[in-house]
A and B are shown apart, each in its own frame.
Chain A
Amino acid sequence: MPAIVSLRDVVKTYTRGKQKVEVLHHLSLEIPQGDFVALMGPSGSGKTTLLNLIGGLDRPTQGEVTVAGERLDRLGSGQLAKWRARHVGFVFQFYNLMPMLSAERNVELPLLLTHLNKAQRRQNVAAALAVVGLSDRAKHKPAELSGGQAQRVAIARALVADPTLLVCDEPTGDLDRATADDILHLLQALNRTHGKTIVMVTHDQKAADFASHVLHLDKGQLVEGQTAAA
């Protein structure tokens, strides 16, 4: 499979006060299309920084980041926003749903950036909620949903615009084991049956076991790669 994510000699430096901190050190990486990759590593190893670069939320200090055929390191913030709308679905640890909107209105948000009309948007929202098994919760607001249900809504929101890539930052970090497993099964199904490429940051080895590949980061460098057991 061709690489959908390609990083070459990427350096990412943050400035904290007068000090410059290099978080990623000349990191190179390729993720094939249709893969399900877990990024693991201790706190401060650069997992989220790497995920942000792949998801187009941040730009490298140095090096090339190519995702879905686009050189992200060359895009301005406005262009990156448009690129994200077309290519990336985000799933966050704390769901990041809009509290004042119902589940279906939350899921509809990415579609407001497309040219779809209202009827088409409604149809796609219903389909996405059906995929995550929450058709009966469409009218509920986030406060009326359990953690697992809220995360499913967030996954439906990430899926609804049919992105090239799903970027998940600790998607089960706020859930109990059983609910976390449900969510991971759902992600796995999206990868296996819908062919979605997924990059997931996690601290949890059991979560990582659901991925096809696990990448370990330490002090801003990849230390090893392994295929997950699941």
Chain B
Amino acid sequence: MLRQILAVSSMSLRSIPQRLGTSLVIVVGIGGVVAVLVALLSMSKGFEYTLKGTGSDARALLLSAGVTAELSSYIGPDSVPLLRELPGVRRGADGKPLASAEIVVITELRRHGGDVNVALRGVEPAGIAMRPEVRIVEGRLFRPGLQEVIAGRSARQQFSGLQLGARLQFRGSQWTVVGIFDSGGDAHESELWTDADTARSAFGRPGASGVLAELAPPDPATALQTLKNAVTADPRFQVDVQTERHYFTAQSQGFTEQITLLTAVVTAIMAFGAVFGALNTMYSAVSARQSEIATLRAIGFSGLPVMVSVLAESIALALAGGAAGGALAYLLFDGMSVSTLGQNFTQVAFSFAVTPGLLLRGMAWALAIGLIGGFFPALRAVRLPVADALRAG
């Protein structure tokens, strides 16, 4: 039986060039579906990578109870020193807690002729020290007391006017870009950073949006629990504690859910059309090969190899379309940098990520469309009365 299947399928595949025009309907149709699917998902994946790649499980972020974004959080100046001293927070060589009371405000920058919201983060020296992933790649770090900022590398790529030495106007005061930093392509690279006390003074916010604290070794998970217990036990604090990574991962959830839903709807509609294209093409193929199929059946080939051969042709064309669509999405979108509004109402720059997993997912869709599009014509091929088909051929 395997020999029959291989022989008939090989004939079917070798006859494709004779029906190149109609065969291209499947390739192009499914290629389009896969390209759109992979492109949309690569946007979601890129955003997810950026946010999930931000932060560390060894650092805790303390925000006002119940808030989901740093921008909505505010911890009063009285609570900040107390929070720094809680058990579970790591201490530096000087015995001081490794904690940074940070302030996040929205600033406006220009992009492609329009204004966009960009986060300005006020960071304490400990905030720089406990983030080894942050490196100054051009210029220098801001100086305390001066209205100086450093810009993330992604921010400089996405927004105008962030070159070294550029002057920025925020709330009536002028700030100078003195450095560009790299943090491994994470969400912080979409931000501007400055000295926390300078920001507090300039923006009139004496407290902090949140407190970032390094968790005490040797086990950050145990230290996190200790910190949570301490916060819960003290009625002065209305604060939620989570790891920094957990916070940023949760930030990506809403966007990825929306994109996933959009992708599902768009892909389903396109796939529906592609299935009909495939059905039409394969019905034409069966019709064009009616005489060949009937001859094989007359010789004694059974229905299964004929059915498999039609499916093999449909699947081969579908996979070719899938590969073309995946390649197109990869060439056009992989690594393409864009930015979108994050949950802080500020822009988050990220790059489309066409991953092997997404390409496989695209191929799986192509395979499914090919199978559905080939199944009914394959059934017709098997049910074709041999005598009638021979006469018609």
Complex Cα distance A101/B296, Å?
A: 13
Interface string of B1-30 (1 = CB under 8 A from A): 001100100010011001000000000000
Min C-beta distance of A189 to chain B, whole Å: 23
A113 to B4, Cβ gap below 8 A? yes
Q: Measured between alpha carbons, how far is A169 from B296 in the docked complex, in Å? A: 16
Give chain A interface residues in 76-90, CB to chain B under 8 Å: 77-78, 81-82, 84-86, 90
In the bound complex, what is the Cα–Cα distance between A169 and B294 (angstroms)?
Answer: 14
Q: How far is the CA of A161 from the CA of B393 in the complex (A)?
A: 24
**Within the assembled complex, what's the spacing in Å between the Cα atoms of A109 and B11?**
11
Using known A-B contacts A98-B292, A99-B15, determine if residue A52 contacts B387 with beta carbons closer than 8 Å: yes
> Which of A82, A96, A110 gathers the greatest number of chain B CB atoms within 10 Å?
A96
A96-B393, A101-B11 in contact; A113/B300 too (CB < 8 A)? yes
Inter-chain contacts of B93 with A (CB < 8 A) = none
Docked Cα-Cα span, A86 to B300, in Å, equals 8
Which residues of chain A are within 8 angstroms of B11 by Cβ–Cβ distance? 98, 100-101
Chain A residue contacts of B245, Cβ below 8 A: none
Within the complex, which residue of B3, B18, B292 is in contact with A112, where a contact is CB–CB below 8 Å?
B3
Whole-angstrom CA separation of A94 from B392 in the bound complex: 12
Q: Does A36 contact B (CB under 8 A)?
A: no
Q: Does B222 contact A (CB under 8 A)?
A: no
B386 at interface, CB cutoff 8 A: yes
- Kindly list chain A residues whose C-beta atoms are within 8 Å of the C-beta of B390: 57, 92, 96, 169
- 8 Å CB contacts to A: which residues of B337-372? none
Given A57-B298, A57-B390, A112-B3, the answer on whether A78 and B303 have CB atoms closer than 8 Å is yes
* Contact string against B for A residues 169-182, beta-carbon threshold 8 Å, 1 for contact and 0 otherwise: 10000000000000
A148 within 8 A of B: no
B300 touches A84 (CB 8 A): yes
Q: Verify A58–B387 contact, CB threshold 8 A.
A: yes
Residues of A within 8 A of B15 (CB): 99-100
B83 to chain A, nearest CB (A): 77
Q: Of A49, A101, A109, which is within 8 A of B299 by CB? A: A109
Task: For the complex formed, measure the closest distance between the CB of B176 and the CB atoms of chain A, giving whole angstroms.
Answer: 73
A52 / chain B contacts, CB cutoff of 8 Å = 387
Shortest CB-to-CB span from B363 to chain A, Å, is 27
Chain B residues in 8 Å Cβ range of A110: 299-300
Residue of B nearest to A109 (CB): B299
A157–chain B nearest beta-carbon distance, Å: 8
Contact B303 A77 (CB under 8 A): yes
* Chain B CB within 8 A of A55 CB: yes
Inter-chain contacts of B303 with A (CB < 8 A): 77-78, 81
**Cβ of B236 under 8 Å from chain A:** no
- Is A92 a contact partner of B14 (Cβ separation < 8 A)? no
Q: Is A48 an interface residue (CB 8 A)?
A: yes
List, in ascending order, chain A residues with CB within 8 A of B297's CB. Answer: 81
B302 touches A (CB below 8 Å): yes
Closest residue to B302 on the A side, CB-wise? A81
Contact with B along A119-130 (1 / 0, CB 8 A): 000000000000
User: Distance (Å) between the CB of B369 and the closest chain A CB?
Assistant: 26
Does the CB pair B14–A100 fall under 8 Å?
yes
Q: A48-B391, A57-B387, A92-B390 are in contact. Are A113 and B299 (CB under 8 A)?
A: yes
CB-contacts of B282-297 with A (<8 A) = 291-292, 295-297
Taking Cβ atoms with an 8 Å cutoff, the residues of B that contact A are 3-4, 7, 11, 14-15, 18, 291-292, 295-303, 385-387, 390-391, 393
User: Other CB < 8 Å A-B pairs besides A52-B387, A94-B291, A100-B14, 10 of them?
Assistant: A48-B391, A57-B386, A81-B300, A81-B302, A84-B300, A85-B301, A96-B292, A109-B299, A110-B299, A157-B299
Question: Can you offer 28 A-B residue contacts whose CB atoms are under 8 A?
Answer: A52-B387, A57-B298, A57-B387, A57-B390, A58-B387, A81-B297, A81-B301, A82-B300, A82-B302, A84-B299, A85-B299, A85-B301, A86-B300, A92-B295, A96-B291, A96-B295, A96-B298, A96-B390, A99-B15, A100-B14, A100-B15, A100-B18, A110-B299, A112-B3, A112-B4, A113-B299, A113-B300, A157-B299
Closest 7 CB pairs of A and B: A85-B300, A96-B295, A100-B14, A52-B387, A57-B387, A58-B387, A84-B300
